[in-house]
């Protein structure tokens, strides 16, 4: 395409991350970053590798400077940064040909200003990650939208060429000379390209040597630090060893003194032990006699207590016998009344007894003495277990299982048809707290 504005030389800056070009900008934008007008949030608290690139109107690279730049925690450039990029680009040595002849290249291993080497870095020139080729391709892609000159040399088609007249054939000799001169020019260009390639390889070798020297220096520094640390550790161990030897000598002397003291203490303790054994025998005999007297006294007190309890039980038993006699008399009277009223129906008898103030009371385990209203007598007589289970607020099956446990509180786990665990358990007195498989089982056979 043809543009109205005339293309000029353009300065740009490219930033590298992970062996790739991450960001491109024109040099005026980079100056705004240096002046603190614009921050770079993507470069917060990092030291970035960047490249200053001078581009001609045909989008070909003329100069490259590889440099470092630091950004703070806000993404602002280091205010003390002052590398003269343009000066380095103009005064640096020659580099490889990127399409417009050998470029001007400034890096750590090739710098015209030695005190700026520490702020420069060497590009990777390997075939897989060649930084110079990345820059060349990025410039060709023209993501910055630069103006460029796309004019081409004029070529002629074969059908437009005409054969010269015979009178002009004598000039063929002159044409041969021109061909020879052209061949010499091509040969010279090939030699220049070969020399350029050799120079590029030398630059790569010097770059690798600089990297190796830097790595070697780091390794030497690490080795010196490790050696100093080991020497310090060795001196500390020597001091500890000397202190330990002195401590061992002191301990040996203390052990010898303690051995003598223990021997004296041993003989003293043996004498005391013999005296104590004699005294202990006497004390044991005295305690035995005292214990026998106290035991006899306690037995006498216990006998008196038991006799009082037996007397109380005898009184209670006599009272119960008297109550049973009264109940038997009442029962005989009720039987006599029933015989007298044999002609009356059962319901009339019950109603008459109820009007007379007779209360029907039944005693069942778990429910105790329960009063049965007249209207519930029939249901109670039909199924007493169900009636009592309802009074206890549990299902009939649970009450039956609880009653079995209550009458015989043992583990109900069955091993086979003829063997049961039978381990005694604590009797559960309330049907509603009974859980089948847990309350009627020992801890070994209890089901979760």
SS3 340: helix
Name residue 360's beta-bridge partners.
372
Q: What is the pLDDT of residues 130-172, one digit of tens each?
A: 899 999 999 999 988 888 776 544 433 334 434 444 444 345 4
Cross-strand bridge partners of residue 68: 49
**Cβ atoms of 148 and 7 closer than 8 Å:** yes
Within 8 A by CB and 6+ apart from 47, the residues are 68, 69, 70, 71
Per-10-residue mean pLDDT for the chain, 448 residues long?
A: 61 92 93 92 93 93 94 93 91 85 89 86 87 92 82 42 44 56 69 64 69 78 86 89 90 89 89 88 88 89 89 90 89 78 60 73 82 81 87 87 87 79 84 83 76
Say what the pLDDT of residue 420 is: 81
The helix, strand and coil proportions of the chain, stated in percent and rounded to the nearest 5, come to 55, 15, 30
What is the pLDDT, as a whole number, of residue 135? 93
What tokens does 153 get? 């040399």
Nearest to 106 by CA among 98, 96, 97, 95: 95
Residue 346 burial (C-beta neighbours within 10 Å; 0-12, 13-18, 19+): exposed
Q: What is the pLDDT of residue 157?
A: 38
To the question of pTM greater than 0.95 for the whole model, the response is no
Please report where in the chains the tokens 């070697």 appear, as a residue: 216
Cβ-contact 26, 144 below 8 angstroms: yes
């Amino acid at each position: 395409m043809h543009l109205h504005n005339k293309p000029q030389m353009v300065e740009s800056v490219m930033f590298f991350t992970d062996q790739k070009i991450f960001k491109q900008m024109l040099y005026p934008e980079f100056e705004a970053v240096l002046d603190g007008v614009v921050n770079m949030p993507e470069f917060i608290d990092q030291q970035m590798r960047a490249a200053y690139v001078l581009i001609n109107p045909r989008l070909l690279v003329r100069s490259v400077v590889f440099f470092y730049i630091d950004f703070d925690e806000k993404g602002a450039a280091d205010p003390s940064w002052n590398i003269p990029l343009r000066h380095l680009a103009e005064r640096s040595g020659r580099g490889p040909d990127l399409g417009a002849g050998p470029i001007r290249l400034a890096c750590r291993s090739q710098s015209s200003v030695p005190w700026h080497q520490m702020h420069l870095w060497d590009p990777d020139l390997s075939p897989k990650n060649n930084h110079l080729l990345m820059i060349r391709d990025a410039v060709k892609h023209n993501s910055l939208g630069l103006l460029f000159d796309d004019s081409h040399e004029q070529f002629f088609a074969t059908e437009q060429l005409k054969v010269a007249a015979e009178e002009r054939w004598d000039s063929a000799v002159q044409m041969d000379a021109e061909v020879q001169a052209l061949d010499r020019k091509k040969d010279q260009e090939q030699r220049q390209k070969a020399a350029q390639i050799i120079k590029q390889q030398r630059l790569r070798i010097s770059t690798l040597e600089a990297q190796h020297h830097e790595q070697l220096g780091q390794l030497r520094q690490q080795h010196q630090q490790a050696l100093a640390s080991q020497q310090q550790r060795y001196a500390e161990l020597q001091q500890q060893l000397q202190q330990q030897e002195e401590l061992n000598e002191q301990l040996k002397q203390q052990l010898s003194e303690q051995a003598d003291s223990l021997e004296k203490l041993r003989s003293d303790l043996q004498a005391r032990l013999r005296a104590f054994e004699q005294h202990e025998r006497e004390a044991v005999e005295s305690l035995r006699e005292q214990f026998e007297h106290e035991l006899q006294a306690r037995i006498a007190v216990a006998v008196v207590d038991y006799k009082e309890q037996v007397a109380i039980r005898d009184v209670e038993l006599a009272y119960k016998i008297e109550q049973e006699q009264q109940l038997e008399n009442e029962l005989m009277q009720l039987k006599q009344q029933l015989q007298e009223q044999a002609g009356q129906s059962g319901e009339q008898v019950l109603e008459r007894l109820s009007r007379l103030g007779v209360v029907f009371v039944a005693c069942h385990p778990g429910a105790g003495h329960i009063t049965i209203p007249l209207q519930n007598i029939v249901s109670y007589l039909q199924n007493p277990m169900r009636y009592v289970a309802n009074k206890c607020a549990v299902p009939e099956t649970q009450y039956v299982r609880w009653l079995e446990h209550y009458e015989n509180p043992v583990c109900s786990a069955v091993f086979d048809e003829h063997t049961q665990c039978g381990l005694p358990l604590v009797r559960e007195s309330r049907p509603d707290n009974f859980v089948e498989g847990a309350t009627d089982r020992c801890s070994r056979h209890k089901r979760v």
